[in-house]
Amino acid sequence: MQKTALITGVTGQDGSFLAEFLLDKGYDVHGTIRRSSVDFRERIAHLEGTPRFHLHYADLGDSMSLMQVIGKVRPDEIYNLAAQSHVQVSFDVPEFTANVDATGVLRILEAVRLCGLTRTCRIYQASTSELYGKVEEVPQNEKTPFHPYSPYAVAKLYGYWIVKEYREAYDMFCCSGILFNHESERRGETFVTRKITLAAARIAQGKQEKLYLGNLSSLRDWGYAKDYVECMWLILQNEKPEDFVIATGEQHSVREFCQLAFHHVGIELEFSGEGENEKGIDKATGRVLVEVSPDFYRPTDVVNLWGDPSKAKRELGWNPTKTSFQELVKIMVDADMAKVAVEKASEHIRTNLAEYLEKGIVK
């Protein structure tokens, strides 16, 4: 029988990949979008018009909109991916972050209950390795104690616990995927990986002089988002509702990510100096291409994330290293090189066209 899924945050990186994945599996896919003055639907533009793909307005801060969409769609599966997902931004908008990332989860769970879907609807909650925060052990697994270290992480911790509470109190099939960082060519441009790949592409094509970053020594377990959405689905197909750590089991620093990204555009970077004085220098020309700016430091920073995906491998049969770290960086750099080249070409066309119009060469 055809299943129906509802994805909150379908316009985001993960939402767009998950929508494609579920459509391929034959699902009827519904996604929630938010009203904004400029519609940003770039990641799902190619899906609009697909007969089994439907969009609804809803906001995680607005219970009524959630009740309406859940009551109307009556989904078999809900993937709650919507969130204010930027850790640094959560220090600037902590209350908004709590409303969406913490209370928003409760609103979804209550809407499912109030719509009478407790027995039929399975719920996936997008939890995060940020819960480990100021880490108490490495690598981190499902039993590692949490120590959230940002307003974002504290809000997500509430989401994690309320999901567990509803599972135990009401016997609901709701689970958290504790996902470590996952990136892609669709990653938001202010997350560190995408900021680096876009800057490397712009610098290589003469469109940017320098890249400013924060903590270069921070360590992350970076995977490919397209591989991770499969796991979200597997978690909901499991016999029992359980929480899983999803990670690659490999760790790299921001500095290493930078070196590899620049290597792919033909620039070998050498780092020298320490702290705020550290610089990334082009070995061939001696030009300083990367500098540290304290603007990108956080009041508290999570610096040692490294996941142990053994349970997901064993119980879900998931392969954490389908796309290697090296392949991930290459996919992102190749996509940004193409994006910058297209931007340059269209600028060129616009400039020439203006000149031709002025000279009357074209009318």
Residues in the site for ligand NAP, rule: CB under 6 A? 8-9, 11-15, 32, 34, 40, 59-61, 81-85, 100, 126, 128, 179, 181-182, 188
CB of 85 to ligand NAP, least distance (A): 4
Residue placing its CB nearer to ligand G4F in the complex, 305 or 331: 305
Phi, psi of 148 (to 5 degrees): -60, 145
Q: Which of the choices ligand NAP, ligand G4F, none does residue 197 contact, using the CB cut-off of 5 to 8 A by kind? A: none
CB of 189 to ligand G4F, least distance (A): 10
Residue placing its CB nearer to ligand NAP in the complex, 102 or 258: 102
Question: CA dist 97 to 60, 67, 88, 261, Å?
Answer: 11, 21, 11, 31
Indicate whether 16 belongs to the interface with ligand G4F (CB under 6 A): no
Residue placing its CB nearer to ligand G4F in the complex, 180 or 262: 180
List the catalytic residues: 128, 130, 152
Residues with Cβ within 8 Å of 283's Cβ and at least 6 positions away in sequence, in order, are 268, 269, 270
d(CA 68, CA 222): 36
CB atoms within 10 A of CB 51: 7
Place of tokens 């770290």: 325
Residue placing its CB nearer to ligand G4F in the complex, 301 or 315: 301
- Binding segment for ligand G4F among 43-51, 187-195, 336-344, 345-353 (CB under 6 A)? 187-195
What number of CA atoms fall less than 13 Å from residue 83's CA on the CB side? 28
141 token code pair = 């697994």
Residue 78's nearest CA partner among 158, 10, 160, 171 is: 10
CB atoms within 10 A of CB 353: 12
Residues between 129 and 158 that touch ligand G4F (CB under 6 A): 129-130
CB of 301 to ligand G4F, least distance (A): 5
- Binding residues for ligand G4F (CB under 6 A): 85, 87-88, 128-130, 180-181, 190-192, 195, 213-215, 218, 220, 254, 296, 298, 301-303, 305
